[in-house]
Amino acid sequence: MRSEGTLAESVTLALCAAVLAVVVGVILFLGPDKDDPPAPVASTEAVEQVGDEFHVTVVVRNTGGRTAANVQVNAELVVDGETTAGDQTVDFLAPGNEASLAFVFADDPSSGDLTVGVSGFLNP
């Protein structure tokens, strides 16, 4: 014998279905445009002295609509005409995501010219 649902159960089911439809709609509306290419950008977030070294935190963000692979990030510090450079690779960076990297320098970045940037990436 099958019991019929109560009015409260029917209203609850309808409300849950409506909420689910709204959530899915918002996700689809606000989701990244898949036609936009990857667009990783790098910026310096913080500099911290650790012993005799200076750790520079660099955040890489993908502002594009598709995943970027093998994102190559470079940092270059010029102090008194001498250049120190480093590079790191982020394996995958999904749209809207970010990765935090640390570059280590012997000289204080505030005493020279520090440049960070993305030098290349793959379109997977």
Q: Which CATH code of 2.60.40.1620, 1.20.210.10, 3.40.50.2300, 2.60.40.10 fits the domain covering 40-122? A: 2.60.40.1620
d(C-alpha 92, C-alpha 121), whole Å: 9
Which pairing describes strands 98-105 and 53-62: parallel, antiparallel, or unpaired? antiparallel
Is the pTM higher than 0.75?
A: no
pLDDT in tens, 49-68: 999 999 999 999 999 999 99
Domain limits, the chain: 40-122
pLDDT in tens, 3-27: 566 888 888 888 889 999 988 887 7
